Amino acid sequence: MFRFGEEMCRVMAVLLLTVLAVTTNAVARERLEVVVIHSYHQDYPWTALQHEGFTRTLLNSLPDYDINFSVEYLDTKRVSPGPAYLKTFLSYLKAKHADDVPDLIYVTDDNAMNFMLDAGLHSFPSIPVIFSGVNNLVLAGTLDQQRVTGVFERKGVESSIELVQQISPAAQRIIFLGDGGPTDQAIGVRIEEVSKRYSGLEIVHIGESSLDALLAALRATGPGVVIVTTIGGVHDAGGRMLELNEIMKYVTDTGRMVLVMEDGYLFPGVLGGYVTTARLQGELAARLAARVLRGEPVSGIFPVMDSPAELVFDWKVMKQFGVRPGDDLLGKARVINKPLPFLERHPQLIWWALGSFTALAVIVIGIFIFVTGRKNRLIREQTTDSLTGLPNRTRLLQDTLSMSAPRFAVIDINNFKAINSFYGLETGDAVLVAVSREIACLLPDRAWLYRMGRDQFGVLADVDMSFTVFKQLIGGIIEALRHNHLSIGEPEIHLTASAGISGRESISLISGAEQALHVARDRNEGYAVDEDAVEDAERQKQNILWANKLSTALETGRIRPFFQPIIHNASGKRTKYEALVRLIDEDGSIVTPFFFLEAAKRTRQYAILTRTMIEQSLGMLGDRAISISLNFTVDDIRNSETVYFFKQMLKKYNAANRVVVELIESEGIENYAEVSRFIAEIKKLGCRVAIDDFGTGYSNFTHLMHLNADYLKIDGSIIKRINEDRNSELVTRTLVDFARRLGMKTVAEYVDSQAVQDKVTALGVDYSQGYFLGKPAAGLP
């Protein structure tokens, strides 16, 4: 058994068990509500990294609190934040948090900060505000010091200019390039101040939101080194907001040397630069927020004025431009895209050398074994891991067979392959050794550690440890690995791990733990036990059963559309129906998609199911003077065969002007380019579009701005509480008003009583749908 610092291990094991005991008897943690308002959308790298750094650091800093993050996106890279938009957004926030007052508000970047200073502070009085990523340094002297503090994003304008002078002394012109937005404008003020200090060097700032105008201004300026400030708000001639990699390719294709000021712009062709790091911005802001939430007055927490920056060079681009930074620069820089070492580029030499060495080693070892007694040495080598010195899987199998009721867990380091790829195999080996020592120090007596292979370790305990205590031990190890940051000659490496736990008999102990590990990964949980694997297997068994039933039903024509009426509230007429899929079982019973939809997606029958519903629903519509709604997911839109089939059926039945496509709010709907393209195509044919289940999941006001829908279906979770929950009423009222301003009709789902129907009608909802007004039926009137 592996031992590292025996006394220290004993102390850490006692501490771990003490923590576990305290945790087991702990009372419920105090809840904190944190509202997060981002300037940009969730897929924008700068936003995503700030958010990750803030939330992770705040959770780690306040482990005794249950923190709920309510996240909103102004989406100002793609939507102009005009007064009407901001007013509606503010109304939405006030309605949402009317009875759930946040303990703290966190905002990122200048647009969200301006929104909060203009209206948010008055609408949420006395609530502390923390910010990050704000470039307008002038605000530092105007902030309400009793409520507002945070992290300014001071881009390294001087350091970037000096870097150009160091790596390209002959450069006579430096061109700062940006999108003309608030962040770029704030940087432009700084550029204008700084440029006066560099006589004999022409420093130009170009800020344009149009790609054509940006490139035209760049060409007109003439040759020079380009430094990109922020370009996330650049659009093409058609108004489409361009992805960052698209914009950077246009800039690098001009043939100029290009430096950047943010790590999110390090795309191919970029030489590097002094870059600000979004994740560190979020982490710094989280540390300030933690101090506030612990009770420290905001007035005593001063804003951070200097953003952390990192010097980065791209090896390939340095070679392209013949740049040779001095040792002082390279010594403090992170160099990316380095060429592989000679032996990695010529692995055949390794195999040749390894083969030669192995042959020689076999001869030497054979002689040694013959002289000293080969049996004991072979046994030891076969049961010990050479890297960590731990007993290996072979030894584990031997040990489990000698125990009557062992406990076992397999621990797997998440994303270890990425560590090997990014830092190299040597660092990866060092991480494995460090992790083995970390786990060994946390193990009490009568528990042993093994190296299972690759990035997996095994923990074995005998019957003296109860299964409950063993699970607590493994959970504590997973948490300890997550909080321990390894420093191995590189920036700190942050690890997470997953575990599978088994208490089966010895003969199936290891396989039970490995099955449980798969369940933990699927559920994105720290650990799972083999009972969970049994439940997962049962769920898979049910999926197989329903997949077979679905296949037979599709072949025999037992997939049918049922139609639920949608009532026009002003007239009471039933001229709209939603088509809902049903499976008629062999015994004649009607089965809802709850039972077979997951099986359809897992067995690739989903597309066939969708096309069956399209053809049957349109065929039943005939020449009736009514309209029907068909549900589409993003997966349906991405399936070109399904889209083609849908268009052909619309033409076959001459039904386009009587069909409403309901887009289900699901992951991927924010990919506006492909979804908007689909909407434009079917609306050109005559169809109309509804956004289904709005108000839950991925709901975002930006969807309404981008998707050009005709109807907004308000989710039933809001509607069914509308008479007893004031927040539900306020949200519904806001949605109705916002939809009306956009020229959209509204539909209330899950109307289950006359009282609810009266309420939604009074609030101005145009249509209602629910079991009280009509259940799904097999035919159309």
Q: What is the mean pLDDT of residues 256-274?
A: 88
CA 416, CA 622: separation in Å to the nearest integer?
58
* Minimum mean pLDDT range among 298-307, 575-584, 722-731: 298-307
Place 621 in a pLDDT band, splitting at 50, 70 and 90: very high
**N- to C-terminal Cα separation, the chain:** 76
Taking residues 583-592, report their average pLDDT.
90
Q: Please tell me the distance from the alpha carbon of residue 248 to that of residue 622, in angstroms, as a whole number.
A: 52
Question: What pLDDT, on a 0 to 100 scale, did the predictor assign at position 538?
Answer: 53
Q: How far apart are CA 325 and CA 162, in angstroms?
A: 13
Region 686-710: what's the mean pLDDT?
Answer: 74
pLDDT above 80 (res 585): yes
Please report the beta strands in 268-427, taking only residues with DSSP state E, as ranges in sequence order.
272-276, 309-314, 334-336, 407-413
Please report, as a single letter, which amino acid is at residue 47. T
- The phi, psi pair for 759, rounded to 5°, reads -70, -50
- What is the residue-averaged pLDDT of the chain? 84
Cα angle: 363, vertex 366, 367; to 5 degrees: 90
DSSP H/E element including 151: strand 148-152
Model confidence at 603, pLDDT cuts 50, 70, 90, reads: confident
In which element (H, E) is residue 574 found? strand 574-584
Amino acid at residue number 469: V
The answer to whether 523 and 544 are in contact (CB under 8 A) is no
Cα dihedral across residues 526, 530, 532, 538: positive or negative: positive
Is the distance from CB of 312 to CB of 334 less than 8 angstroms? yes
Provide the pLDDT for residue 716.
Answer: 87
Mean pLDDT of 189-194: 87
Looking at residue 11, its pLDDT comes to: 47
Per residue in 640-663, pLDDT (tens digit) is 999 999 999 999 999 999 999 998
Alpha helices by DSSP H, 25-156: 45-61, 83-96, 109-115, 121-123
Sign of CA dihedral 745, 746, 751, 755: negative
pLDDT of residue 22: 42
Taking phi first (over 0 means left), then psi (-120 to 50 degrees means alpha), and beta for anything else, what does residue 667 get?
beta
C-alpha 492/C-alpha 485 separation (Å) is 6
Does the pLDDT at position 203 exceed 90?
yes
DSSP for 286-330? HHHHHHHHTT--GGGSPPB-S--EEEEEEHHHHHHHT----HHHH
CB-based burial label for 376 (10 Å; 0-12, 13-18, 19+): exposed
Q: Name the band, by pLDDT with cuts 50, 70 and 90, for residue 2.
A: very low
What does the pLDDT average to over 533-552? Answer: 68
DSSP string over 179-198: -SSHHHHHHHHHHHHHHTT-
In terms of pLDDT, which residue wins out, 206 or 406?
A: 206
pLDDT reading at 504 higher than 80: no
Mean per-residue pLDDT, 31-52:
90
- What length is written for the chain? 781
Phi first, then psi: what are they for 742, rounded to 5°?
-90, 5
**Lowest mean pLDDT segment, chosen from 220-229, 311-320, 400-409:** 400-409
Rounded CA separation 21/463 (Å): 19
| pLDDT of 3 above 70 | no
Question: pLDDT tens for residues 356-385?
Answer: 777 777 777 666 556 555 666 666 777 888
Asked if pLDDT for residue 26 goes beyond 50, the answer is no
Stretch 185-211: mean pLDDT: 89
Query: Is the pLDDT reported for residue 429 higher than 80?
Result: yes
Tokens representing 90 are 């503010």
